[in-house]
A and B are shown apart, each in its own frame.
Chain A
Amino acid sequence: MTPQSTFMIVAVVSDVQIKKLRQLLATMNYIPGHANPDNSLVPFGRFDRLHFARFMIIEAITADEIKEFGITPRPWPLTLAFFGDIDGDKDSFLAELTEHAGSGLKKIFSLCEGFSKDENNLLEWMKQRDIQPQANYINWIGRTVKQVHEEAALHKSLRRYLQKIVDDIGRENTLDLRQKLLSHIELEKYAGRLSLTPPEPTPIGWKIRNLLHLIGVPFILLLATPFFLLIAPFYLIRLRMLERSDPELFIRPDHAHLQKLTVQEDYDVTNQYNVFGDVKPGLLRLLTFKFMLFMLDYAARHIYKRGFLTRVRTIHFARWVFMDNNHRAFFASNYDGNHESYMDDFINKLGWGLNLSFSNAVGYPTTNWLIKDGAHRELPFKYTQRRHQLPSEVWYKAYPGLTATDLARNSRIRHGVENRQSSEKEIREWLSLI
């Protein structure tokens, strides 16, 4: 299995260059916000390990909201973020990037601060500006871009052939249908039209680290339990005080801002999403936020790694990042469906989970004991997330037209090709997927 990794390169952009940068980035697109895979600056399509990538400007458009807490907003410079999700390790990917898109990246980064004209070590420059997420979610750990493409081609080929043979021999003799489909695949593979590459062996270093993390985290938490129990009453009292006193901001996002966001949505079956805002003041909020994301990261790594994050099956990749020395938080995701249905999932299926983490951010609707209310306060929630949302300048997805549900189905179909079903019922179920 090839594990996935993630990169996020951030660099400050001066106010003078921002317009030029936006214009340059826009030349990579073929429809608003969507990268042409063959664009000349960063030809994303050439990188067969790359799932998703984007360039966006992190801007503190809601910086003033923290004034409600009686705090002066911290300055935040315009910041270019370039991030993506890849198969295999990060360092070799960044090296590949510099090799095949070096000149384009230099053009882009030369508009950022700290990039000298004669910067010859692009790779080093990027590595220095690469930041780690506090939590990272991968829809299916181990599923590679190559696998996605191969399995999609497999499904397409099977589907065409199945329709043809059903017309010829009917739909009742399932064993026969299955046999014919399997022979068809063998022929197609032989002809070089299909391939089903077996998974690579899992890197041993990753395996060990993962195992240590799997066991280590609960172990440490167990050791810390007496301490948690001891502080729990004080924590809860303070939390309830904050929940009662934290100002709630019920501000409607303005129309022009909404337009900037929606103009790049709903071209594909998947959309991109970025939000950025302030962490609420005080140590309790920061530690709660950090702890919740730590737990989320653990769950994403060891539990929710096979197609679903609690009840939600529409997120491909997501990241939670602290910035500005833990004063600000950034979240980005790639989700299937329209924004309104994403919010529907957030509120109705995952409201409690959002509350646990994002209630520690400025502008979030008031929660009750950290999990109640919050996102369930529908419109305050929808307003705040749209208000804090930032557009992407350029967004790339390696497999347009496919949702996470499609990818999971295609993997099940492949599984059925490689593993003989034990009963008539199982064969029918497999056939019904095609």
Chain B
Amino acid sequence: MKPSPNFEFDDLQALLRFGSGHLTETHFMLLQIKDADAARQWLSTAPVSSATATRPPPDTSLQIAFSVDGLRTMGLQEHIIKDFSDEFITGLAGDESRSRRLGDTGANAPEHWEWGGKSGQTPHVLLMLYAQNGKMEDWKKTVETKLFKRAFKLFMTLPTTELEAKEPFGFIDGISQPKIDWAQQQSTDLHERDNYSNRLAVGEVVLGYRNEYGHYTPRPLIDPQQDIHATSLPDAEDEPAMKDFGRNGSYLVIRQLHQDVPGFWQFIDAASDADPEKREQLAASMVGRERDGTPLAPATPNHIPGIAWQNRDNHFTYELDPGGTRCPVSAHIRRSNPRTGDYPPGVSGFFSRIIKALGFGQNRPDEDLIASSRFHRLLRRGRSYGPRLTPEDAIKPDASTEPRGLQFICLVANISRQFEFVQNAWNISSKFGGVQNERDPLLGIRAPLLNGEETDHFNHPHPSGPMRTTAHLPQFITVRGGSYFFMPGLRALQYLATTPATDSDSSS
């Protein structure tokens, strides 16, 4: 694989490279396109921020993503749209089987959502404004031009609050992120990835590049012979005669997750006999970190590519804690990223790899249940909402129950292999890594299994032998909305802006 140090960051929306932590104010808008011509015209000059690094960093940012309905309304032709992934075209809420798979059932069911849940009500556009403290009002005025108002109807503004390091339950969030291998230097060969690496192939989050399998994820390619407007699009690396509408774009998954902060801490408090120390311990074991971010898992002595030695909060795997006596197997962060390599621990050469590949030489029956985490990583870009409530206040009986939660956002190149897999096979699975009928203590639904077995408990393996069990967990997090979007590269945005209206309905 040739390194390409000159990555075309100028064609990438900034969110793919930067979390923009210095831009503490956010304003997320869901829009409907009411005049496609005006929308295209606005888009052609919209100040969408690229991922080019500037010094000093910009004090505002604008990012834009479209749902499949949005792309259609913009006039993107059906023969282009059909090459997006099936899950994007169907949508997050468009299919009961998908909802069942994702745990969007019961209180989480799309029919109860505040937005995005009903067919025909999927927002067209997600517009994300970021600004430094105090600069949002001016930035909004810059973005919301006359043309903008003619083009779009505000569907709703998603609640967000000024950025803090802590998510609503009170834990430091966003510590673990994959380190994108922009220079494409890390091998994706199955034989060279025995151990966990935090570096991730560009093609796992950006379309048009090689992914962790060393291949290109299918995406819309356009023949410039047929479509003159496409000539300004980037070339498709894997099919040089074609232009790549997907290149430098990414799928954006957004889910509004309501967090019952008083409910969480009051439950934890009761389960810990109102002992503050035990309360912290129980909450930490459910998360897998203490509130200040310190992980429960022991530090690993091995080097993890993409994570600095000094970064204790991130420099760990679960290799030294296979049974979960330090960090429970069911803990939220362990489920969300099990930090496994392609092979179980202890592979040191050709022969040991063969032995393990044949399924032998295992030290524990559960050591190889979860492998190859690299194919299931998410680049998270969420922002939380609702007034802050400390655990100490949350346990008071009169604690405020104002809406609080997270606008969970992740960027991926393959929605089903990344976001949906993590949600289904890791987070809400009642059997993840061999756990006993329990789901993610934070994120999980509590629906019983088909044989009636309850799943509403949390097991903490204990070195003495018998597990400690916390029973009758209520659901702490409820889905309130969500949608799958596509966040195009900058040249693809220009293509959208200039492609003429087709015979498809250009207004809605």
List residues of chain A with CB under 8 Å of any chain B CB. Answer: 162-163, 166, 171-172, 174, 177, 252, 255, 258-259, 262-263, 265-269, 304, 307-313, 336-338, 340-341, 344, 347-349, 352, 376-379, 399-403, 405-406, 408-409, 412, 427-432, 434
Contact = CB atoms under 8 A, between A and B. Distances in A.
B475 to A, nearest CB: 19
B101 A166 contact: no
B430 interface: yes
B431 A349 contact: no
A-B complex: 10 closest residue pairs judged by Cβ atoms: A431-B465, A401-B451, A428-B465, A262-B97, A401-B449, A341-B425, A400-B450, A310-B359, A348-B372, A171-B464
A427 B465 contact: yes
Nearest to A397: B450
Contacts of A267: 100, 450
A266 B101 contact: yes
B465 A352 contact: no
A171 B86 contact: no
A236 B398 CA distance: 77
Given A171-B462, A310-B359, A428-B465, 10 more contacts: A174-B465, A266-B100, A268-B449, A308-B359, A311-B357, A344-B372, A344-B375, A348-B342, A405-B365, A406-B431
Interface of B: 86, 89-90, 95-98, 100-101, 190, 211, 213, 215, 217-218, 323, 342, 356-359, 365-366, 368-369, 371-372, 375-376, 416-417, 420-421, 424-425, 429-431, 434, 436-437, 449-453, 461-467, 469
A299 to B, nearest CB: 9
A348 B371 contact: yes
A432 B431 contact: no
Contacts of A352: 357
Given A172-B464, A432-B465, A432-B467, A259 B424 contact: no
A377 B96 CA distance: 29
Nearest to B103: A266
Nearest to A250: B218
A259 B101 CA distance: 13
A327 to B, nearest CB: 31
Given A348-B371, A431-B466, A432-B461, A405 B425 contact: no
B369 A405 contact: yes
B90 A255 contact: yes
Contacts of A432: 323, 461-462, 465-467
A310 B424 CA distance: 24
Given A265-B97, A266-B101, A258 B86 contact: yes
A268 B450 contact: yes
A263 B437 CA distance: 23
A292 B434 CA distance: 31
Contacts of B424: 266, 338, 340-341
Contacts of B375: 344, 348
Contacts of B366: 405
Contact of B365 (A177, A403, A408): A408
